[in-house]
Amino acid sequence: MQEWVEGIKVSRRGVLRALGLLGVSAAAAPFLAGEPGVASGQGNLGSLQPEEKVDATLKRLFGGRPIKDGSNMIKMDLPLIAENGAVVPITVEVQSPMTPTNYVKSIYIISDRNRRPMNARFSLTPEMGAAAIGANLRLNETGDVRAIAELNDGTLLMAKREVKVTVGGCGG
Amino acid sequence: MAEIGKVRIRIPSNIKRGDVVRVRSLVIHPMEIVQRRDGKPVDKNYLFIHKVMVEYNGREILQADTTQSISENPFFSFTFKPTEPGMLRITFLDTHGGKYEGTAEIKFT
């Protein structure tokens, strides 16, 4: 008798456990499989973007277009040593006329060693009078910072500078 | 952070017609960075400014797409050449739908 009850109990427990496992997995399945899909489907700008190497970023932004050396035209001003990677001031100035027929269309700031190297893109207009912009960056670790200027005729010019970062700012 | 979205714009006090003016702007914003749990980045809707638009008398003169690699309380500076007096308006948009605006009046002396 005792054995029989025990047998029932065990089997009942086993069934419950099996049900529980099923339930848990059934509840977890849509959560695990569905959520990233929904998030990317909505095109949420704030969602986590995949990690990228700088070569992949350049390819994504510019395709295979040649990037010329623009170190004599682009003046970058940023510290050689950044003690605090969370706030690194940078100014980029492109020595180019800003007329409706000849101007700098955009300036990209790219830091090689951040999780996502593309930091900021500025779209300029001739009304600005001069192609000069400034911002504060977060740099993750010591590495190159590039400024890429795209002229209105499609020419790409690049300048880069190495910045030593003492304490990383954990860039996005 | 009651101050989120407070925009400050600084322009030179003395502007002459035809000058190239350097404008400096700052917005109070947390600019959340990627969080990590057990070494893995967490996927969530991060709060940061992703767009900056600068208009002068309703005409767009500068647009910036920004990422989390921009510091907390983002600072931007740029130049522009006003040909007539008017209103400079800087708009910041964040990923949670927030919209923060600041204006500055440009007068010639």
Say whether pLDDT at A111 is over 90. yes
Q: Among B41, B66, B81, select the one facing A127 at the smallest CB separation.
A: B81
| A156 belongs to a structural domain | yes
Domain match, A67 and A13 both = no
The total number of structural domains that make up chain A: 2
Dist. CA B8–CA A124, nearest whole Å: 21
Domain match, A43 and A115 both = no
Domain match, A67 and A117 both = yes
Dist. CA B59–CA B27, nearest whole Å: 21
3 state SS of A36: helix
B54 within 8 A of B63, measured Cβ to Cβ: yes
Which of chain A's residues have a Cβ under 8 Å away from the Cβ of B56?
127
How confident is the model at residue A9, as a pLDDT? 52
Domain match, A33 and A65 both = no
CA distances from A166 to A19, A139, A148, B67 (A): 54, 10, 25, 22
* Beta partners for residue B88, in sequence order: B56, B104
Structural domain harbouring A70:
54-167
- Tens of pLDDT, residues A14-71: 544 554 544 444 444 333 333 333 333 345 678 888 888 999 999 999 998 999 999 9
B25 vs A: CB within 8 A: no
Domain B7-106, classified CATH 2.60.40.10, yes or no: yes
User: Model's pTM, two decimal places?
Assistant: 0.80
Say whether pLDDT at A8 is over 70. no
Mean pLDDT value of segment B38-61: 91
- Tens of pLDDT, residues A86-98: 999 999 999 999 9
How confident is the model at residue B29, as a pLDDT? 94
Q: ipTM score of the complex?
A: 0.91
For residue A121, the domain's CATH number is: 2.60.40.2470
